[in-house]
Amino acid sequence: MTSRRAFLAGAVTVLAAPLAGESQLTGKVYRIGFLGSSSASDYAPSLQAFRLGLRELGYEEGKNVSIEYRWAEGRTERLPTLAAELVRLNPEVLVTHGAGVRAAQQATSTLPIVMGTSADPVRLGLVKSLGKPGGNTTGVSSQLIELSVKRLELLREAVPKLKLIAILSSPVNLSADETVSETEVAARKLGVSVRAFKVVKEPAGLEAQFTAILRERPDALIVIPDPLVSGTHNARIVEFASKNRLPAMGGIRNFPAAGGLISYGGNFLEGWRVAARYVDRILKGANPADLPVEQPIKFDLVINLKAAKALGLTIPPSVLARADEVIQ
Residues 278 and 252 in one domain: no
User: Per residue in 210-243, pLDDT tens?
Assistant: 999 999 999 999 998 877 777 678 889 999 999 9
Give the pLDDT confidence score for residue 147 in this predicted structure: 85
Q: Higher pLDDT residue, 6 or 327?
A: 327
Cα–Cα nearest to 140, from 53, 71, 41, 44: 53
Residues 184 and 278 in one domain: no
User: Per residue in 141-155, pLDDT tens?
Assistant: 887 778 888 999 999
Q: What is the mean pLDDT of the chain?
A: 87
Give the pLDDT confidence score for residue 19 in this predicted structure: 38
pTM: 0.79
Give the pLDDT confidence score for residue 148 in this predicted structure: 87
User: Per residue in 60-76, pLDDT tens?
Assistant: 999 999 999 999 987 88
- Please indicate, yes or no, if residue 184 is contained in any of the structural domains: yes
CATH number at residue 36: 3.40.50.2300
The dihedral through the CA atoms of 6, 8, 13, 14 has a sign that is: negative
Q: Assign 3-state DSSP to the chain and report helix, strand, coil percentages, each to 5.
A: 40, 20, 40
Whether residue 5 is predicted with pLDDT greater than 80 in this model: the reply is no
Task: Answer whether 6's CB lies under 8 Å from 298's CB.
Answer: yes
Residues 104 and 237 in one domain: no
- Please indicate, yes or no, if residue 3 is contained in any of the structural domains: no
Residues 54 and 163 in one domain: no
CA angle 232, 40, 231 (to 5 degrees): 20
Task: Answer whether 74's CB lies under 8 Å from 228's CB.
Answer: yes
Residues 243 and 194 in one domain: yes
Mean pLDDT, residues 280-303 taken together: 92
Give the pLDDT confidence score for residue 328 in this predicted structure: 87
Q: For the chain, first and last CA: distance in Å? A: 15
Q: What residue numbers bound the domain in which 149 lies?
A: 144-265+300-327
Sheet strands side by side (includes 65-71): 65-71, 30-36, 93-96, 113-118, 137-141
Whether residue 97 is predicted with pLDDT greater than 70 in this model: the reply is yes
Mean pLDDT, residues 277-291 taken together: 97
- Please indicate, yes or no, if residue 94 is contained in any of the structural domains: yes
Q: Higher pLDDT residue, 37 or 53?
A: 53
Whether residue 114 is predicted with pLDDT greater than 70 in this model: the reply is yes
Residues 22 and 66 in one domain: yes
Share of the chain above pLDDT 90, in %: 59
Give the pLDDT confidence score for residue 222 in this predicted structure: 94
Q: pLDDT band at 250, cuts 50/70/90?
A: very high
Whether residue 35 is predicted with pLDDT greater than 80 in this model: the reply is yes
Number of domains in the chain: 2
Give the pLDDT confidence score for residue 26 in this predicted structure: 56
Give the pLDDT confidence score for residue 22 in this predicted structure: 43
Sorted by sequence, the CB contacts under 8 Å of residue 144 that are 6+ apart come out as 119, 120, 175, 179, 224, 225, 251, 265
Whether residue 270 is predicted with pLDDT greater than 90 in this model: the reply is no
User: Per residue in 163-209, pLDDT tens?
Assistant: 999 999 887 776 778 888 889 999 999 899 999 998 877 777 789 99
Separation CA 46–CA 174 (nearest Å)? 17
- Please indicate, yes or no, if residue 72 is contained in any of the structural domains: yes
Indicate the SS3 state at residue 195: strand
Query: Environment class of residue 253 by beta-carbon count within 10 Å: exposed (0-12), middle (13-18) or buried (19+)?
Result: buried
79-83, 251-255, 286-290: segment of lowest average pLDDT? 251-255
Whether residue 3 is predicted with pLDDT greater than 70 in this model: the reply is no
